[in-house]
Structure 1
Amino acid sequence: MDAFALIAAGEDPSERMPDAVAELLELGLVVRDVREGHRLVPLNPRDVLRRRMMIEFGALDDCLSRMRSLPGTVLALEDAFERSQLHAGGRSEFIPDPVVVNARLQDVVGGAQFEILAAQPAGPRTKEHLEAGRGRDTDALERGVTLRTLYRATVRDNPVTAEHARMMANRPDGRSAEFRTLAEPFERAIIVDRRTAFISNTVVPGAHENSAWQITDGAFVAYVVSEFESRWKRADPWFGELRPRTGWPAVDTVSGAQGVRTTKEEREILRELCSGRDQKGAARQLGISLRTFNAKVAKLRELFDAESVPELTFKWALSPDRHVDDSEGGTAAAGEAGLSAA
């Protein structure tokens, strides 16, 4: 203010008050008249304020306009980005229609040159489904293609699947198929020649349960193969023999389970107890409160006449309930659409 008063009085305080003068020049309250030796000239502060307010309000209007347009712009870009993720370079393609999934699968499997790996956790298959694929599998074996199929252990109780495995694993002429079974859960996948993989959809919400992804990205396919091989090593070889039972009826998840006392939810709880998680972690995994979880465990202890949780898990491991396949599609109808080539 002192510097402005001096300038208004006709003096030049530049040497004594350089910072104050620089600030006045920046604000536009004074200017230098280049025609008169750069003399400092004061301007009417009211006029300067009016001009400055007009400039600032204009800048604010531009900023608000850009802010209003941002949501629409971002949504448009986000939609384009999401579409690109579903078809990333054509190497990971989401196929929503199970009919198209099967058509693609039949085409790729039919052209297999040296190997077909199939992880099929959906449980026993129908006789019609197995017979429909037997000719294709036999043709592949006769071309020298290696065919390895991983099933859930429940198929060892199913005569239809066992007969299919016996026929394909004990062919009198030429190469035979290989089968193994695994008690633990695993994801469905079919890998052909280690170049193309079909996996279940876990990305797109609300899609058909038999939709799938076709993967041709080399790194991704290699990872799927690695997961398959890891489970294959832990699985038990199977040549189609039915599992002997002593003490309880066989559990056939196609014809219907006999002697099973638990519900699907109760079996999920029991599997969580056997997984090594504590009760709090198991409850969180199942999406229920700890109080509800403990109440259901207490009911299961009563059902199995178990004095403790360790005794409960021991008796569950020896019960026919342990062998019921609750995986998605673990019924006779499962696998007739979607990832069901092997």
Structure 2
Amino acid sequence: MLEALGLSATGAVVYRAMLDHPGHGVDEIAAQCALSPTQVHDHLDELAGLMLVRASADHPGRMRAIDPEVGLADMLARQEAELAARQARLAASRAAVTRMVADRAEHRATHGEHLLGMDAIHARLEQMGHSTTSEVLSSQPGNQRPEDLTASRPADAKVLARGVTMRTLYQDSTRHQPHVTTYAHWLLSQGSEVRTAPAIPQRMVIVDRAQALVPIDPADNRKGALHVTEPGILHALLDLFEQAWNTAVPLGAAQPDDPATGLTPTERELLRLLGTGLTDDAAGQRLGISSRTVGRHMASIMERLGAASRFEAGIKAAHKGWL
């Protein structure tokens, strides 16, 4: 029990021997405790440091043990004083953290919720993940960088371990990216849900339906993000997410072609995008595929339509009700 006060187990044995045999010298204590005289001297230094022994007035050169009622009581008093000091420092630290959090909240309220740069975005995502209690919804269009997914796993694991529901939307194109499918299957193994669609809403993260993070510039997510808490904007973002989620396909499920047209979901969305006047590059960016892949899809569609040009393909697709 005395170890809790900072006294070693062997030091306690030496202390008890000195209390039981106040007239014994170092050699006698060593023999009684099965220690060497050098070891006894080391423990006498330990006991002296704890003020449990003092120099003997009757036997010069020897030490005498202080009565436990005095010595141990003094040790307890010192421990209690140190504990009180640590508690005071902890309380001061907690108050400082509380003030810092309040100052940051006031700063955000004063300076707006624009987060500039990836460090600011990552810091806010960490904060949102730490505070979430029920649900995280996210839409992740475009290609996903392996290093970003690797960095996200520890935070996602902590959130999922608390029983938080997580639903994630990726684009169909990511089904051909091994690092994304590996991460998505890990999410599924942790109890979250993952779906894909040819085109999904802009990048967003919605936490507990009470706050969201969206890019300032959807064309360049690294420029910064906007932290949203206004109910009206959140409601619109939630509607957008749910509409996309309801038409997306669970990861691992087959993506059947349209029985009426034979078009894949990606081909149908590509026709719709090109029909609005987007270029191959722009349509490819929306679908998360390259312009070369867009060209291959269009060549396949033109062959099925028996069209010699894209213009002719557009007319025939419209007549067939594909657009």
Category of TM-score, reference length = shorter chain: 0.3 to 0.5
Alignment TM-score, normalising by the size of structure 1: 0.44
Structure with a larger share of its residues in helix: 2
Question: Which TM-score applies when normalising by structure 2?
Answer: 0.47
Higher relative contact order (CA 8 A, sep 6+): 1
